[in-house]
Amino acid sequence: MNAKHIAIIDYGMGNLHSVASAVQHVAPDVKIDVTADPQRIADADHVIFPGVGAIRDCMAEILRLNLDKVVADVIAQGKPLLAICVGMQALMNRSEENDGVACLGHFDGEVKYFSDSEEFKVNANAQSTQSQEVQDHLKVPHMGWNQVNQSIDHPLWANIANDSRFYFVHSYYIEMQNAEKRAGECHYGLGFTSAISDKNVFAVQFHPEKSHKDGLQLLKNFVQWDGKVS
């Protein structure tokens, strides 16, 4: 049997070395292809859709390289797809970043700015009065290790304790319309969706490739996943 083939979609936004090396670390035998070539992505057994940076630039490159169609095909074919950070945000309807950017629309929901949320503003500044434990105004970006509450059982959460901490770095968060597709929730001044599950698609706001043992476990689970949710 041939080695499993994993494509990491490369649209020129950010450094994919971390994702590739983390996957290779947990699955030394898989063949990893960092590529924008539609054919090579179509040939892969599993696909990872990462992303960092501004959504406007990300979406522009995704469309320029016709990756919108490629991602739609991967989803339609039932192939396991893992979207990370801005890759996850790109699957939503729309982002408020860069004065509003239309996204791929695979999931109903919007990507919003923490500091624009009234709930966030109230909580961000109220914390210091709660006790003499000085917890100062919440910073944006939301940067560091936060707990993810697993909303559902899922093969990608296998061997990961509920409320484990993962590494986040983002200023925009996802507000989901459809709670049924929520796979994980996080709290930072407000509650937000930090993981989405829909058939063969799993999307995370945090960076599993930077999240130590639990992040590596999630990547390992992804490599072993058949794309089905029991």
Partner 1 sequence: MGLAKRIIPCLDVDKGRVVKGVQFVDIRDAGDPVEIAKKYNEQGADEITFLDITASHEDRDTTVHTVEKIASEVFIPLTVGGGIRELADIRKMLNAGADKVSINSAAVHNPAFVGEAAEKFGSQCIVVAIDAKRVSAPGETARWEIFTHDGRKPTGIDAVEWAVLMTNYGAGEILLTSMDRDGTKDGFDLGVTRAISDAVQVPVIASGGVGCLQHLVDGVKQGGADAVLAASIFHFGQYSIEEAKLHMRREGLEVRL
Task: State the residues that interact with partner 1 by CB under 8 A.
Answer: 14-15, 17-18, 21-22, 25, 52-54, 115, 133-134, 136-147, 163, 165, 167, 169-171, 187-188, 209-212, 215-216
Q: Which is nearer to partner 1, 21 or 77 (CB)?
A: 21
Q: How far is CA 47 from the centre of its chain?
A: 13
Number of C-beta neighbours around residue 60 at 10 A: 14
| DSSP conformational letter for 228 | -
**186 catalytic, yes or no?**
no
Output the smallest distance, CB 182 to partner 1, in A: 17
List all residues 6 or more positions away from 112 whose beta carbon is below 8 Å from its beta carbon.
96, 172, 173, 174, 175
**Choosing from 58, 85, 103, 186, which is the catalytic residue?**
85
Of 97 and 201, nearer to partner 1 (C-beta) is 97
Tokens 């992040």 sit at which residue?
215
Work out how close the CB of 75 gets to partner 1 at its nearest, in angstroms, rounded to a whole number. 26
Q: Is 97 considered catalytic here? A: no
Report the C-alpha gap between 190 and 172 in whole angstroms.
Answer: 12
**Of the two residues 33 and 209, which places its CB atom closer to partner 1 in the complex?**
209
Q: What distance in Å separates the CA atoms of residue 105 and residue 197, rounded to the nearest whole number?
A: 15
Q: What is the rounded distance in angstroms from the CA atom of residue 14 to the CA atom of residue 135?
A: 32
Residue type, 227: G
- Rounded CA-CA distance 198/178 in Å is 11
User: Active site includes 207?
Assistant: yes
Q: Work out how close the CB of 103 gets to partner 1 at its nearest, in angstroms, rounded to a whole number.
A: 17
Q: What's the closest the beta carbon of residue 151 comes to partner 1, in angstroms?
A: 15
User: Is the C-alpha dihedral spanning 109, 73, 40, 63 positive or negative?
Assistant: negative
Write down the least CB distance from residue 115 to partner 1, Å.
7
Q: Considering beta carbons, is residue 212 or 228 the nearer one to partner 1? A: 212
* Closer CB to partner 1, 42 or 54, in the complex: 54
Indicate which residues carry an active-site annotation. Answer: 85, 207, 209
